[in-house]
Amino acid sequence: MNWKRMLSGALAGLILVPALTLPAFAAQETAAGETLEDKAAHAIALAGQYGGADSVRYALWEDGEITAQGGWGIYSKTENRALTDDILYGIGSVSKTYTAAAVLTLAQAGRLALEDPVTKHLPGFTMADERYKDITVRMLLDHSSGLMGDSTRDAFLFGDADEHAADDLLTRLSTQRLKAAPGAYCVYCNDGYTLAQLVVEAVSGMDYMDYLHAAVLDPAGLADTYAPGDDFDTSRLAKTYASAEDVRALPQDTVGIVGTGGLYATAADLAAFGGLLCGNELLEQEWLDLMNTDWAAKGLWPEESENDTLAFGLGWDNVHQYPFNQSGITALVKGGDTLRYHASLVVLPEADKAVAVLSSGGVSTYDQLAGERILIDALAEDGVAVDEGLPALPAGQPAAIPEAVKANAGAYVSLGMVAAVAFPDDQTMTLTAAAALGGTVQTYTYRDTGVFLDETGTAALTFVTEDNGRTYLRQEDYAPVPGLTSSGTANYVLEKLEPNTGASQAALDAWAARGEELYLIVNEKYTSQVYLSGPFAGVTALPETPGYAAGFERIVDETLAQQYIQVPGNGSRNGADYRIVSVDGKEYLKAGDYLCAPGSGLADLYAGAGAYCTILDDGHARWFRVGALAGKTLAVTLPEAGGFTVYDANGVATASSVAFGDTSAVLPEGGWIAFAGTPGARFHLSLVQ
């Protein structure tokens, strides 16, 4: 197993400047056409090419109607079908904006108050942390609940509309603690929106989608928005693929936490929903104002963050999006990503304009920038100019680093990065990524303005010690994307990791020993997309962060390591505590809601006469090494409710019965095979001669 690859996959996510890596062709970008439609087609083509999408569709809503829409790319790699206006995409977390709107309609009707404790409406909601009683409905919507983040096991499935990931959430949360006091700071949280979905159901007395239709979709005539379990023509969904090279279309991308990220829509329906939030047809201005408030700035948040990509409203990622804010134009933004689809909704309420950009594959950030470009061009048609100039960084002159600033040397982390800050001389700071993440060194020079500038002068870093006593590294930079617009960053990207002096040597040794182990997820449903993307976990001890497991899990004792970091925005989302539990006399890793078996000591696969594999009563996936069968072709007779996946030595899936419909596979050298299904599911195995 390629450990460096696995660890990088587990930790990667937030990368310091540049935030967006453009392909080589960006410098040869072609000119846009003259008409608004030509310019929009050019923008989405760039978004598709930059992000490596298979297809992109957009729709522009203005003053009550769709005024332009179009597409780029292909519906399918193997089917001769046009990418027409009626093609559907998963909109991922843009579904949250619908959930926020649904909650606000209930508040507007007096059926709940935003400051109600969640327990008032969900009396079965309990946690192993008494502070949960202070979580309000509003905190679910502005991401300030303090919940760990993602209890999304079994939520991302292939061709399976199972919603038990939402139905079971209260049970899953009952054993969890909070990572922060409710209301302390905003950090993106999927579980908050699944709880909000449950609140909608409890208060309305209706299934979530039934209420969404009755209160939002049907009155507005939004007839092309669906949940995975709805009755609609699934062939209208744009095809998705495992990679750019693969021509095998994947099964339907289903997300069982519908109010968090499970809706599908056409670009036109999504843009029209955005238009619904431009006026008072759905929500009175009082409630729109609350929805469009920057709630993030009310808690732990960096000062002078008005140009950052995040400024959480209720259901919005940003309520004063740059560069529109530079011209006094309110721009509301929500992005969304499933594992296969990507989406962006940008709304200009005062201008009565909204745009949706959806893609199969690709990157939602590029979708958003394309949408912003379309809106900027649409405003220009109305004679309204948007200032797209890059804000000036506080450059100043090189200066000696104060000793108080040098005291900030040490390890810095976020959920996606581990790096060491050092001061090799009186004017220079280095930021070195952990060796396991490539060891890249970035150099910054101190200026008399109190900031560190990178070698290009386009990124500024400062140290900030907040009221909570923690030290953060604030980054400000602006990244122009040729042909689109610019992306801004003005946030806390890393937190200083304080030394862990409370753990015993026995605890440190126990976790260090586990750093040599590879853990395999065993409690995902057999239809889970996780089996295709890589169901592996590790707790590798990094030399840069002694006293912590997996880089940022603070070791408490020999069986517990807790999430430590509190980075607002995105830097500490999707958190979990790590526990070691005993299963059949073996040490298993429990990472949040995931149960992971040790990879060491696995048996080699047997496929001789009469061979079979049966899922036991615990329902856990069963893992085997390929062993001496490498190079041979294995045939599998599948049970009714089960699937298998084959992995090469680097953990890359090479065959899957669920994703690709495989019933046989060539077994790779040094590889693995996983069988998953319902208890009692039996796989019959044989070798193809």
Task: Say yes or no to pLDDT of 10 above 70.
Answer: no
Q: Which of 342, 326, 469 is CA-nearest to residue 387?
A: 326
pLDDT, greater one: 685 or 541: 685
Q: What is the pLDDT of residue 15?
A: 28
Whole-number pLDDT of residue 54? 98
- Judge if 575 and 637 occupy the same domain: no
Inform me whether the pLDDT recorded for 31 exceeds 70.
Answer: no
583 and 627 fall within a common domain? no
Q: What is the pLDDT of residue 29?
A: 52
Taking only the tens place, the pLDDT of each residue in 132-188 is: 999 999 999 999 999 998 899 999 999 999 999 999 999 999 999 999 999 999 999
- Please tell me the predicted confidence (pLDDT) of residue 559: 97
- The pTM of the full predicted model, rounded to 2 decimals, is 0.95
> Are residues 571 and 646 both part of a single domain?
no
Residue 33 pLDDT: 77
Among residues 22, 5, 131, 11, the alpha carbon closest in space to that of 363 is found at 22
Q: Is residue 173 part of a domain?
A: yes
Backbone angles phi, psi at 380, to 5 degrees: -60, -35
Q: Is the pLDDT of residue 317 over 80?
A: yes
Residue 472: inside a domain, yes or no? no
Strands laid side by side in the 682-688 sheet: 612-614, 682-688, 633-637, 664-666
Asked whether residue 523 is assigned to any structural domain, the reply reads yes
Q: Is the pLDDT of residue 18 over 50?
A: no
What single-letter DSSP state applies at residue 678? S
The average pLDDT across 90-106 equals: 98
Predicted confidence (pLDDT) per residue in 388-434, tens digit? 999 999 888 999 999 999 999 999 999 889 999 999 999 999 999 99
- Mean pLDDT, the chain, rounded, equals 94
**100 and 238, same domain (yes or no):** yes
Q: Which of these, 152, 339, 153, lies nearest to 251 by C-alpha position?
A: 339
Which two tokens mark 85?
Answer: 């206006």
Q: How many domains does one find in the chain? A: 3
Output the pLDDT for position 4. Answer: 32
For the stretch 323-381, pLDDT in tens is: 999 999 999 999 999 999 999 999 999 999 999 999 999 999 999 999 999 999 999 99
Residues 329 and 353 in one domain: yes
pLDDT tens-digit profile of 179-192? 999 999 999 999 99
Task: Say which CATH number the domain at 293 has.
Answer: 3.40.710.10
Residue 32 has pLDDT above 80, yes or no: no
> Where is the domain boundary, 598, 620, 644?
598
Q: Are 410 and 422 in contact (CB under 8 A)?
A: no
Same domain, 193 and 147: yes
**What are the tokens at 224?**
């092309």
The residue out of 348, 381, 414 marking a domain boundary is 381
> Which pLDDT does position 133 carry in this prediction?
98
Is residue 569 located within the same domain as residue 670?
Answer: no
CB atoms within 10 A of CB 384: 13
Q: Tell me what pLDDT residue 26 has.
A: 46
b/e map 330-354, b = 16+ CB within 10 Å = ebbbbbbbbbbbbbbbbbbbebebb
Same domain, yes or no: 325 and 187: yes
- pLDDT tens string 657-671: 999 999 999 999 999
CB 457 within 8 A of CB 15: no
Going by pLDDT thresholds of 50, 70 and 90, the confidence category of residue 25 is very low
Residues 581 and 625 in one domain: no
pLDDT digits (tens, 9 = 90+) for 55-64: 999 999 999 9
Q: Are 55 and 71 in contact (CB under 8 A)?
A: yes
Q: Which of 529, 564, 598 is the last residue of a domain?
A: 598
* Domain residue limits at 565: 500-598
Contact 140, 200 (CB under 8 A): no
Categorize the per-residue pLDDT at 94 as very low, low, confident or very high, splitting at 50, 70 and 90.
very high
**Is pLDDT at 17 greater than 50 in this prediction?**
no
Q: What percentage of the chain reaches a pLDDT higher than 70? A: 96
* The two structure tokens encoding residue 678: 């319902």
Question: What does the alpha-carbon distance between residue 667 and residue 631 come to, in Å, rounded to a whole number?
Answer: 5
Same domain, residue pair 146 and 224: yes
Contact 636, 663 (CB under 8 A): yes
- Rounded distance between C-alpha atoms, residue 583 and residue 45, angstroms: 51
Are residues 583 and 616 part of one domain? no
Could you tell me if 119 and 227 lie in one domain? yes
Closest CA to 550 of 2, 9, 1, 155: 9
Q: pLDDT tens digits, residue range 619-652?
A: 999 999 999 999 999 999 999 999 999 999 999 9
Residue 24 has pLDDT above 50, yes or no: no
| Token duo for residue 483 | 């042909």
State how far the Cα of 29 lies from the Cα of 230, in Å rounded to an integer: 41
Q: Which residues contact 206 (CB under 8 A, 6 or more apart)?
A: 214
For residue 445, the one-letter residue type is: T
Whose structure tokens read 């490539």?
438
Using a pLDDT cut of 90, give the percent of the chain over it. Answer: 91
